[in-house]
A and B are shown apart, each in its own frame.
Chain A
Amino acid sequence: MSEISNKWIGTSTIRPDGADKVTGKAAYAADTNMPGMIWGKVLRSPHPHAIIRSIDTSKAEALPGVKAVVTAKDIVDFSVHTPVPLGIQDMRWMCRNVMAREKALFHGHPVAAVAATSGAIAEEACKLIEVDYEVLPWAIEIDDAIADDAPILHDFIEFEGKPSNIAGTLEHTLGDIDAGFDEADVIVERSFDTKPVHQGYIEPHACLVNVTPDDKMTVWSSSQGQFMVRAMTAFLTGIPQSDIRAIPAEIGGGFGGKTIIYLEPVAAMLSKKSGRPVKMVMSREEVMRATGPTSGAKSMVKIGAKKDGTIVAAQAVHYLQAGAFPGAPIRGACGCCFAPYDIPNVHSFGYDVVSNRSKVAAYRAPGSPIGAYAVESVLDEVAEEIGIDPLELRLKNAAKQGTKAAHGPVYPVMGYAETVKAALAHEHYKAPLGKFQGRGVASGYWFNAGGESSAQVNITEDGNVVVTTGHPDIGGSRASIANITAELLGIDYRRVSVLIGDTATIGYSNLTGGSRVLFASAMVVTQSTEQVIERLRGLAAKIWGIEAEAVTWSDGAARPAGENAGKFEPLTLKELAARSNETGGPIGAGVQLNTAGAEGGFATHVCDVEVDVDLGIVRVIRYTSFQDVGKAVHPAYVEGQMQGGAVQGIGWALNEEYIYNKDGKVDNPGFLDYRMPVCSDVPMLDNVIIEVPNPKHPQGVRGVGEVPLVPPLAAIRNAVYNALGIRFYSLPMSPPKVLEKLDATKMAAE
C-alpha cells in the first residue's frame, strides 16, 4: 500500500446520504407506495402464555374492505425437533415468532393478521377474530423461569433430563480454575443483574410486499440485510429465493435489532391471498411489545489475584433471557467477558433461558455488555482490595499478541493495552473531581466478523465511478467506501457514487452486523478497484503500443513507466473512459468473497458522574472513550459509533428497563416511560481513536460499531461507587433505587 497517498482515507468527507436525510427526502421503508396497495394489521395475544385452541376468522373475512386474513396455517411450519439455522436465527423459532402456532408465548405475540383497504378497517377486522385461548401460568423473570415449579414454555426442551426453560448452555475453559484460585491472595465474588433493553431505533419495522399471480415477490423493507430478508421470507413462505427481490430502504436505525424479520412473510402471505400489494407498519407500542430487546441477565463472577495485581483465576456464570424462543446471546457474554485479559485459569459458563417475553434480538455486541458489566465491576473491587489503580490492574493483565483467550483464539496484533495506556495518560483521568462526583473505568471486547460480501465497481462513460455493495448502511459504509475507492483510483471522492444494491442487482452479501461491513466490503471493493486499475493500465498500454507492465497508475491517470517514462502524456480516467469503446468496451469489475481476518476490537472508557444525593439522580458529566479501530477510514463516522455506543450504555446503566405489570404485560411500551437518554442527558462525549492496523486487511480496518457499548455499564457503575462509596449490583441505577440505597446506607451509619 506504499503508493497510497492517504488523501481520502482518514478524512471525514461529506456523507453521501446527508442531504437527503436533512431535507426529509430519504426514503424509508414506510415511504414506498404502490397502486392498489392495501394495509395489513396484526392481531396480538392479550395473554403472556396461552394455548391457542382455535381461531375463527370468518367474521373478519366478512367485513367489507377486508381482502385477506392469515394465521399460522399460512406460514411454512418447521418441526421443533429439526434445527434449520440461518445465521443466528433458527426457522423453527422464526416461523412461530412471526405467527404463534401452538401457543401464544408472550403478550403481543402475533396470532393473526388482516389486510384491508384501510388501516382502520384492518384494525376493526382484527377485533372480529375469535381466538379460543387456554390461559397458562407464565414466567417473566429468570428466577421464575428456572424455579422447580416454573411453567414450561416448550415441553420438548429438556435440561438435565426433564422439561425445562433452560434451552442451552455454553462453556469456555482454560487452565485449571481451582488451582488458580488456590494461588490467589485476593478473591472477590459478586452477583449482578441487568434488565433487558431495547435497541430503540427511531424507525419502526415496516414493509411493502407485492406478490404477483405467478408468485414473483418484491419486498421493500427496512432491515440490516436485504439478503437476510430474502432468505427468511423464502423459508417462511415457500417461495424460492430466485423469485423474491428484496429492496433495502434507507434504514432509520437498527443496532442489531433489524437482523431479524417480523412483518415480511406475513405481508407476503396477505399479498399472495389478496392479489394486492400489502403495506405493514408497526406502531412504537408494537415495537416495544413484540420485537427483540437484548437479554436481561443474572451473573455471578469470581476473580482471584495475587498481591502484585496478577490475575490468576476468573470464573463467570451468566443466565441470559432469550425471550419466548431459544437463542440468548450467551456466546457474547461468556466469550467476551474475560477477553481483554491474559488469565491462565478461566471458567465461563452461560445459560440460555426462555421466558414469556418477546424473543430477544441482536443488540450491538450481543451479550458482551452484560458479561463485561459483571467482570469489570468485580475488577474494580479487586483493584481496591489490592490497592492498585484500576487501569494499572488492567494494564498489568492486558491480553496481547500471542495471548490464548478462553474463547479460543490466540490473539494476533491487537491494541487493547494501547487503549489502557492512552486512558492512563489522558488529562481526563487526572482531572479533579468535586463533591458527590466520581470517576469509573471499564474495558470491553467484541469478536468482530468477516463473512460474505460482494461489490461491483463500474467506470461511467464520463470517467466517474459507481460502486455497488450489498449492505444496508447503518454506520457510514457508503462514505467510507467512497473514501477507499477515491484513494485507490487517485481521484476526488465526489467522483465516486456508492449505492446499495438489491438482491437482484448485486451478489450475495451477508447482513450488516458483527461490525463486519466496512471490514468485508472494503476488501471486495479494493479487489474490484484493483482489477479496474489493471484494466485501465491495459487500455493505456494498448493506446501507447507498449506492454501493460510498463504502465503505472497514480493520481487518477495511467503513466508510462520504466524505459517508457516520459515518452507519452498520462491518460486520465476520464480520457480512458471516453476511449473505452475503441479499446475493448465497458470498464468494470466485481468481486465476491467470504472474507476472513476480522480481528477483535477493544475499548476502554473513562466516565465521570455527579449524583444528586437528595433525589438519587446520577448524571454523567464527562465521558471519554479510547478504542482501537485498526484504521479510521472516515473518522467522523468512527467517532459517531463510539459516541453512540457510549450513550446507549448510559441509558442501559441509568434508566432503561422493561416494566412488567402483574398481568405479564409490558407497562411502559413507549419512549415516554421507557427512558432512553435525550441529548440534554449527556455531556459531549469525547473520543480517542487508537489505530493499531489489522495486518490482515488492505486498509488495516477492524470493526468499530459494537465494542463501544461494552464498557459503559461498568464504567458508570464504578464511577457511582467512586462518588458515593456505595456499590450497586443491579441495573438500572434509576433514581428510586439510588435514593433507597443512599438512605439505607445513611441509616446504617447513624
Chain B
Amino acid sequence: MTDIQYVAPSTLDEAVGAYAAAKGAARILAGGTDLLVQMRAGMVKPGLIVDIKKVAELSAIEKTPEGGFRIGAAVSGAVLEEHPTFGKVWPGVLEGLNLIGSTQVQGRASAGGNLCNGSPAADSIPGLVAAGAIATVQGPNGRRNIPVEQVPTGPGKTSLAPGEILVSFTLPPRPAHSSDAYLRMIPRTEMDIAVVGCAVSLTMDGDTCTAARVSLGAVAPTVLLVEDAAKALVLTKLDDASLDKAAAACSAACNPIDDKRGTIAYRTKVAGVLLKRTTAIAAERAKGG
C-alpha cells in the first residue's frame, strides 16, 4: 500500500531531475492511455508519476527552420488533427496516430507515449519511421537525437537511458509530390489493435517513384524499417512487378509470433498485401500534392 507521488513540472529540467532521481520507480505520464490502464490492471505500481504535459516544449507543434515539423512528445492526436497544415503534409503519420482507440482516447493519447510504451503494434510508429522522423530525448547527461526506429528495442523496451525523457519528434522538410499513408489489418473496423501495420512514404516525379521509406508494425519484436521494400519501389513506376517485389521484401522482413491476434503465416502474408494497398494510397496522394 505505497502512496503514489505526482508531480507536474513546468520545465524539462525539473521533469528530468525528478524522473532521474526516482531511479526507475517513476513513470512518465503524457495522455495516460497506457499508464493508467496498466496501473489499474496491477501491471505497474509507480512510486512517482511525472506529468510532462505542463512542459511547453513537449506540448508544442512547430515548423523547423529547415521547413519540417517538430511535434512535442505529449501532443495528442486530436490536437495534431487540428493543426492547419500538418495533416496535409503528413497524412499517413496523422492517420496512424488517430486510429488509436476511441475519440475520447484520441484526445489524450500521444505519439510520444505510443513510442515509449514499446509495443510492436503501436499504430503511430510505422508512420513516423517511414517519415524518417528523429526523436529528441533529454536526460541527466543532456540531449541527443536518434532515429525513431532505433528507440524501441523489444516489446515494452526502449533504448532510452535511465532518466531520459522523450522530448519531441522532428520530421524533415518535404519535397514536392511527396506523401504518405498508413494501413493496418484489424478484424474489427475500429477500437482494435493492429495485427499488421504498414506505413509508406513516397516522393513521386510524374509516375516514377523517386524516394520511398517503408515501415511495418506488429510483425516483429519492434516496428521495422524495411529498406529492401523501399529499394524495390524507388525508380519504378510502381508497376505490378515492383509492387510484388516490395511485398515479398515485406513478407521476408517479418519475424512475427503466433499469438491470440494472428498467426505467423497470416501476418507474413498480410504484410505484403498491406504494402501494395498502402503504396497505392500514398502514390495517389503524392501525385495529387
Hey, which bits of chain A sit against chain B, CB under 8 A?
Answer: 118, 120-121, 123-124, 285, 614-617, 619, 654-655, 659, 667-668, 672-673, 675, 677-678, 680-681, 734-736, 739-740, 743
Does B21 sit within 8 A of A, measured CB to CB? no
Q: Which of B252-273 contact A (CB under 8 A)?
A: 259-263, 265-266, 269-270, 273
B141 within 8 A of A: no
Q: Is B1's CB under 8 angstroms from A675's CB? A: no
Is B187's CB within 8 Å of the partner chain A?
yes
Q: What 0/1 readout, one digit per residue, does chain B (140-176) give for beta carbons within 8 Å of chain A?
A: 0000000000000000000000000000000000000
Q: Which of A123, A659, A743 contacts B260 (CB 8 A)?
A: A659
A734 to B192, CA, bound (A): 14
A736-B260 contact, Cβ under 8 Å, with A121-B1, A675-B187, A678-B191: no
A62 to chain B, nearest CB (A): 15
The answer on a CB contact under 8 Å between A675 and B188 is yes
CB distance from B180 to the nearest CB of A (A): 21
A194 vs chain B, min Cβ distance (A)? 17
Q: Which of A616, A681, A739 has a CB less than 8 Å from the CB of B188?
A: A681
CB < 8 Å: which of A118, A120, A673 contacts B261? A673
**B264's closest neighbor in chain A, by CB?**
A736
What residues of chain B lie closer than 8 Å to A734, measured between beta carbons? 187
Indicate which residue in A124, A615, A667, A680 contacts B1 across the interface (CB closer than 8 Å).
Answer: A124
Asked, given contacts A120-B1, A124-B1, whether A740 binds B266 with beta carbons under 8 Å apart, the answer is yes
Contact status of A678 and B190, CB under 8 A, knowing A120-B1, A614-B273, A615-B273: yes
The CA-CA distance from A205 to B52 in the complex, in Å, is 37
The residue of chain B having its C-beta at the shortest distance from the C-beta of A118 within the complex is B1
Report whether B187 and A617 are in contact in the complex, using a CB–CB cutoff of 8 Å: yes
Query: Within 8 Å of chain A (Cβ to Cβ): is B226?
Result: no
> Which of these, A118, A672, A680, contacts B193 with CB under 8 Å?
A672
User: Knowing A673-B261, A675-B188 touch, does A739 contact B193 (C-beta < 8 A)?
Assistant: no
Please state if B266 and A735 are interface contacts (CB–CB under 8 Å). Answer: yes
Q: In the complex, how many angstroms separate the beta carbon of B282 from the nearest chain A beta carbon?
A: 18
Asked if B5 is an interface residue, CB under 8 A from chain A, the answer is no
A-B contacts counted at CB < 8 A amount to: 57
Q: Do A736 and B263 contact each other (CB < 8 Å), given the known contacts A615-B185, A615-B270, A615-B273? A: yes
Output the least CB separation between B70 and chain A (Å).
32
Residues of A within 8 A of B273 (CB): 614-615
> 28 A-B residue contacts at CB 8 Å?
A118-B1, A124-B1, A615-B185, A616-B266, A617-B185, A619-B189, A654-B187, A655-B188, A659-B260, A667-B260, A668-B260, A672-B192, A672-B193, A673-B260, A675-B187, A678-B191, A678-B192, A680-B188, A735-B187, A735-B195, A735-B262, A735-B266, A736-B262, A736-B263, A736-B266, A739-B266, A739-B269, A739-B270
A512→B265 CA distance, assembly (Å): 46
Interface of B is mostly: loop
Write out the residue numbers on chain A whose beta carbons fall within 8 Å of the beta carbon of B266.
616, 735-736, 739-740
| Binary flags per residue of B212-236, CB closer than 8 Å to A gives 1, else 0 | 0000000000000000000000000
Q: In the complex, what distance in Å separates the CA atom of A64 from the CA atom of B198?
A: 53
Q: Which residue of A lies closest to B269 (CB)?
A: A739
In Å, the complex CA distance between A615 and B269 comes to: 9
- Complex Cα gap A736–B193 (Å): 15
**How far, in Å, is B1 (CB) from chain A's closest CB?**
6
User: Across the two chains, which residue of chain B brings its CB closest to A123?
Assistant: B42
7 additional A-B pairs beyond A667-B260, A735-B185, A735-B195, beta carbons within 8 Å, are A121-B1, A615-B270, A617-B187, A675-B187, A675-B188, A678-B190, A736-B263
* Distance, CA A123 to CA B40, complexed state (A): 12
Q: What are the residues of chain A within 8 A of B193 when measuring CB–CB? A: 672-673
Which residues of A have CB within 8 Å of B41? 285
Residues 40-97 of B at the A interface (beta carbon under 8 Å): 41-42
CA distance A511 to B124 in the complex (A): 48
Measured between alpha carbons, how far is A615 from B259 in the docked complex, in Å?
Answer: 17
The CA-CA distance from A386 to B246 in the complex, in Å, is 48
Residues of chain A lying within 8 A (CB to CB) of residue B1: 118, 120-121, 124
A-B pairs with lowest CB-CB distance, top 9:
A736-B266, A680-B189, A614-B273, A659-B260, A678-B191, A668-B260, A667-B260, A655-B187, A736-B263
Question: In the complex, what residue of chain B is closest to A672 when comparing beta carbons?
Answer: B193
Residue of B nearest to A613 (CB): B273
Residues of B contacting A672 in the complex (Cβ-Cβ under 8 angstroms)? 192-193
Which residues of chain B are within 8 angstroms of A118 by Cβ–Cβ distance?
Answer: 1
Kindly report which residue of chain B lies nearest to residue A614, judged by CB atoms.
B273
Query: Residue B190 contacts which of A654, A680, A740, A743 (CB distance < 8 angstroms)?
Result: A680
Distance (whole angstroms) from the CB of B208 to the closest CB of chain A: 26
Which chain A residue shows the least CB distance to B190? A680
Q: Report Cα–Cα, A667/B185, bound state, in Å.
A: 20
Using Cβ atoms and an 8 Å threshold, which residues of chain A touch B189? Answer: 619, 678, 680-681
Contact residues in B for A654 (Cβ distance below 8 Å): 187
Chain B residues whose C-beta falls within 8 Å of the C-beta of A675 in the assembled complex: 187-188, 192
Alpha-carbon gap, A672 to B187, bound state (A):
11
Docked CA distance A615–B191 (Å): 18
Assembled-state Cα–Cα distance A614/B272 (Å): 10
Nearest CB in chain A: distance from B44 CB, A: 15
Assembly CA distance A616 to B190 (angstroms): 17
Rounded to whole angstroms, the CA-CA distance of A685 and B10 in the bound complex is: 51
Q: Residues of B contacting A736 with CB < 8 Å? A: 262-263, 265-266
Q: How far is A601 from B152 in the complex, measured between Cα atoms in Å? A: 56
- Most chain-B CB neighbours within 10 Å: which of A118, A667, A673, A736? A736
CA distance A478 to B187 in the complex (A): 37
Bound Cα distance A563, B270 (Å): 85
B269 / chain A contacts, CB cutoff of 8 Å = 739, 743
Q: Which residues of B have CB within 8 Å of A124?
A: 1
Which residues of chain A are near B190, meaning CB under 8 Å? 678, 680
Whole-angstrom CA separation of A672 from B260 in the bound complex: 11
Closest residue to B270 on the A side, CB-wise? A615
Distance to closest chain A CB from B256 (angstroms):
12
* Alpha-carbon distance between A154 and B210 when the two chains are bound, in angstroms: 69
Which A residues are in CB contact (< 8 Å) with B259? 667
The docked-state distance in angstroms from the alpha carbon of A120 to that of B2 is 10
Q: Could you say which residues of chain A place their CB within 8 Å of the CB of B270?
A: 614-615, 739
Cα(A673)–Cα(B259), bound, Å: 11
Residues of A near B185 (CB, < 8 A) are 615, 617, 735
Which residue of the partner chain A has the closest CB to B259? A667
Q: What residue of chain B has the Cβ atom nearest to residue A735's Cβ? A: B187
A680-B187 Cα distance, complex, nearest whole Å = 12
Q: How far is the CB of B158 from chain A (nearest CB, A)?
A: 22
Which of B1, B260, B265 has the most chain A CB within a 10 Å cutoff?
Answer: B260
B261's closest neighbor in chain A, by CB?
A673
Shortest CB distance B278–A (Å) = 13
Q: Cβ of B188 and Cβ of A677 under 8 Å apart?
A: yes
Q: Measured between C-beta atoms, what is the minimum distance from B263 to chain A in Å?
A: 5
Query: Closest A-chain residue to B276, C-beta based?
Result: A614
Residue of B nearest to A674 (CB): B260
Nearest to B273 among chain A residues (CB) is A614
Min CB gap B279→A, angstroms: 14
B265/A740 in contact, CB under 8 A? yes
Q: Which residues of B contact A678 (CB under 8 A)?
A: 188-192
Which residues on the B side are within 8 Å of A740 (C-beta)? 265-266
Write out the residue numbers on chain B whose beta carbons fall within 8 Å of the beta carbon of A667. Answer: 259-260
Query: Inside 8 A of A655's CB, which chain B residues have their CB?
Result: 187-188
Please, how many angstroms separate the alpha-carbon atoms of A124 and B2 in the complex? Answer: 11
Instruction: Closest A residue to B102 by CB, please name it.
Output: A678
A736 CA to B195 CA in the complex, in Å? Answer: 10
Which residues of the other chain, A, contact B195 by a CB distance below 8 angstroms?
A: 735
Which among B187, B188, B266, B270 has the greatest number of chain A C-beta atoms within 10 A? Answer: B187
Distance between Cα atoms of A616 and B266 in the complex (Å): 9
Q: For residue B187, which residues in chain A have a CB less than 8 angstroms away from its CB?
A: 617, 654-655, 675, 734-735
- Shortest distance between the CB of B265 and any CB in chain A (Å): 7
Task: Name the distance in Å between A59's Cβ and chain B's nearest Cβ.
Answer: 15
